[in-house]
Each structure stands twice: as structure tokens, then as C-alpha cells.
Amino acid sequence: MAKKDYKALCKAILDVCGGSANIANVSHCMTRLRVQLRNASALDQEAAKKIPGVMNLIVQNGEYQFVIGQDVPSLYEEFTRVEGIKASGEVADAEALKEDSAVKGKLVETILSFIGGTLSPVIPVLVAGGLTGAVLTLLTTFAGVTADSGAYQVIYAINQAAFYFLPVFVGFSAANRLKSNGYLGAFLACVLLFNGINGVALDFFGLPIQAIGYNANIFPIILGVLFMSVVYRFFQKTLPVTMRTIFVPLFTMLITVPVTLVVLGPIGNTVGTVLADVIYGIYNAFPALSVAIVGAFTCWFVFFGMNNALYPVVFALLAAVGSDPLICAGMAPANVAVGGACLAVALIAKKAEEKQVAAGAGVTALCGITEPGVYGVLFVKRYPLIGAMIGGGIGGFIGGLLGMTQYVISTPGFISFAAYITPAEMGGGMYNFAVAMAVMVIATVVAFAVTYVLGKKAEA
């Protein structure tokens, strides 16, 4: 595969965006370069999609996402060298914050987009923290490491800190997403986790504060930051400039913290509890069908950028039952099915460039990262989309039927094999691991076979 010229790719994207002066902010996630523009009308979207090295262009809430692949950090580095471009941080031009007209007014879509956009930057923490739990399982199961050893305690701290302090990361990310103060969002989460607050029943001038464990639920901090951003902006607009540095953060926290503890925290806790009960109830009633639906439609969640919005369900299930038998269990066969479909396209495609894109996307998807495959192959050719949905659906159905689950948060796929080994504290054993591997192999093979058959006709 020819090496990408990231400097040329950067220049091509700058050209279709109307030049560097039109870019208010640029950042990136795992596979996409995220650009916010001052004047959206200056962007030639059709030309952008045809740039060599750009798999697709996705528009979400006023943000233009160029789908590049896992090498997007290399492209991002080129943008950081362009004079006048703000890399990450807050957007300087308020016009860049306007929502895309196709999304504006759609409440559910806006909420999901906000949750997904908030959690997306936190995913590396979740993956690192989750997989260290799987590493502990491997060490205790196969390497004889004991729970009282120093090595165990260090790795255990990495695992536990990621999730105990998760509200801090979410608070920072949510506040930044709302163009508020990220550090105050993190500060609010720290207050909720303080040992004199977290899980302690108190009162605030006679108003009752419930004993809630804030480390186990992200909804309280999300609601708290939403309220905090309103308070913060109010004082930013109304206080004299000379007073803002001192009094904006002071007044913001003095108002936000009590309101969150007395009102928003209990509401968020109830939302998380009800969500877990409802989702787990549906799963218990129709386990095979529920996981099959997730397996079949995950590629659509990815296409619309809503896959990260499902993480609150994962957190709720982990808190309620100690594992995720639905979302991650369905995404695992879905992701590898995308890989199988892409590899089939790589085998039967006639153009060398299509073979290269499909092969790279296929290997990446088997590891759990499907954006290159979804945007660059499935929704371009359509027939591999059918293959991936059938493979993911069948794999999910079998996984749900056999009770497959995922014990830690990680990118669902073959590379996260340790996440399916049952921890000793939950009974131990390799049954779930064997089921998960079998389910993913079946999903890959079915997706490959269906795509190959359909593709032979389509490519003829």
C-alpha cells in the first residue's frame, strides 16, 4: 500500500474548506479529523469526499468529520503546523457552534450526539482501564499472580481508577463539549466523589441530600455540567470583566454544587438505575433477539456516529450485573463481521485501490475499529453492508442464546480476547471465552461468505 502524503492531504482538505482562515478549530478522534468552520458555505462537500485518502465526510452538529482511518493522528499533526489554525480547545468563532440544519430541532438526535461527543474523547481511558482488568484475569489465571502482590495492586489501581474517577473525565469532556470551562466540569465531579459527599446522606440548609454513589453513574455529572454551563455563561455575560476571573468560578460552583447534590444528582441516579433495569429486563425476556439486533445494526450506529452514545447503557449494565451481555456482546460479532465483509471485498474487487482500502479496513475491523470499513467499504458498495449485517445478526443471536457477555469495557473484537475470560470473583472458567471466540469466528465467516456471493454478482 502506498504511503500517504499527509502534507498533500492536509493541503487538499484546507483547499475544500476555504483555506486555513475559515477553520475555527480542528481535532481528531480514532479515525476522523474533526473540523469546525467559520463559514460552512465555503466547504465543497462533494469535492471533499473525492479527495484521495478521505473515505467519507460526515456532518454532525456543525462539525465536519473527514473519515481518514487509524492514521488520522499523522494528518492532524500536519494541521497543527499550519499557522493560524487552532488545534483542539475552544472554538473562537461563535458561528462555528451552529448546529447543522439537518440535526437542529431533533431532540433525541441532539441528545445522543451530545452524549456520544462527550464520551468519545474518554474512550482511551475506558479501554486502558477496562483491559487492565482483563490483564489481571490473565495474570491470576495463568501466571500465578496473587491479589496481595505489588504487581497486582498496581495494575488493579489502573483498572479501578479509570472507572472510579470516570465522572471527572466525563465532566471535563462534557463542559468542553458545551463550550464551557472543562476544569470546572472536572471540579464538579471531584466534589461529587469527595469522601464526605460520595455515598453520604447530608442536608444543605435543611434540604436533604441523598446518599448516592456517584462513581457508578455518569448521568448525575452530565446533568450537573449541563446546569453548570448555563450558570457559567450567565455570570460570564453579566459580571464586569474585572470581576470575572475571581467571581465567575466561585459563583458557578456555589450554585451548581448544591443544585446538583439536591436535585440533579438524584434525577441522574434514577435515570441510570431505570435504564439498567429496563435494558436488562428486555435482555432477559428476549436475550437472543436483543443481542442479534445490536449485532445487525451496530454498523448503522457507527455510520450515524451514535455508537458512543450507547456507552451509558454499558456503564449501567456493568454497575447492575457486573458485565455487559447486550451492547458489547452484540458489538463484538458486529465489528468482526464488518472485517469479514471487507476482506471479501478485498478478494473480489477489481481495482487495486479498492482492494487496498478493503484489506486495511478489514484487518482494522477484526481488531474492533470499524469506521474505515463502514465509511470506506460498506456504505460505498452496499452489498458488503448486507453481508456484515447478516453476519453480525447471526453471531449476536448465537451469543445471546449461549449467554455470551463482556466483563470489562474494551473495543469489542478479537484483539480484546481477554475481556471475555470470566474473572475469578465471578466464578472463573473459560466457557464465556470459548463462546465469544466461536461467535466472532462464525460472524466473520458468515459475513465473508454472504459478501463474497453478493459481490461476485455485483462486481461481474
Q: What DSSP line would sit under 396-442, residue for residue?
A: HHHHHHHT--BSS----SGGGGGGGSPPGGGT--SHHHHHHHHHHHH
Please give the pLDDT value at position 297.
94
pLDDT at 3: 65
Residue 144, judged by CB atoms within 10 A of its CB (0-12, 13-18, 19+), counts as exposed
Structure confidence at residue 90 (pLDDT): 32
The whole-chain average pLDDT of the chain stands at 88
Whether the pLDDT of residue 93 is over 50: the answer is no
Q: Find the DSSP H helices in 149-261.
A: 150-164, 166-177, 182-193, 219-238, 241-259
pLDDT at 98: 37
Q: pLDDT band at 106, cuts 50/70/90?
A: low
Say if residue 103's pLDDT is above 70.
no
Question: Is pLDDT at 334 greater than 80 in this prediction?
Answer: yes
> Which pLDDT score is estimated for 232?
96
Cross-strand pairs, 60 = 63
Domain 6-103 fold is Gyrase A; domain 2 (3.30.1360)
Distance separating alpha carbons of residues 163 and 218, to the nearest angstrom: 10
The pLDDT value given to residue 97: 34
What does the DSSP assignment read for 75-89?
HHHHHHTSTT--BSS
pLDDT of residue 331: 96
* pLDDT-derived band at 101, boundaries 50, 70, 90: very low
The fraction of the chain above a pLDDT of 70, given in percent, is 93
User: Among 17-31, 395-409, 441-455, whose mean pLDDT is lowest?
Assistant: 17-31
**Distance separating the N- and C-terminal Cα atoms of the chain:** 25
pLDDT for the residue 109 = 65
- Name the amino acid, one letter, at 415: I
For 379, counting Cβ atoms within 10 Å of its Cβ (0-12 exposed, 13-18 middle, 19+ buried), the class is middle
- Residue 88's pLDDT is 60
Q: Is the pLDDT of residue 107 over 70?
A: no
> What local confidence, expressed as pLDDT, does residue 225 receive?
97
| Of residues 9, 137, 17, the one with CA closest to residue 78 | 9
Residue of 208 and 135 predicted with greater confidence: 208
What SS3 class is residue 27? strand
Instruction: Identify the CA nearest to 126 among candidates 310, 339, 392, 334.
Output: 310
Q: What is the mean pLDDT of residues 265-288?
A: 91
Chain-centre distance for alpha carbon 117:
8
426 contacts: CB under 8 Å, gap ≥ 6: 322, 323, 407
43 pLDDT higher than 80 = yes
Whole-model pTM: value is 0.72
What pLDDT, on a 0 to 100 scale, did the predictor assign at position 177?
Answer: 87
- For β-strands 23-28 and 32-37, DSSP reports them as antiparallel
Residue 167 and residue 119 in contact, taking contact as beta carbons nearer than 8 Å: no
Q: How far apart are CA 364 and CA 169, in angstroms?
A: 27
φ, ψ for residue 103 (rounded to 5)?
Answer: -105, -30
> Could you tell me the pLDDT band of residue 104, with boundaries at 50, 70 and 90?
very low
**Hey, where are the domains in the chain?**
6-103, 165-282, 286-458
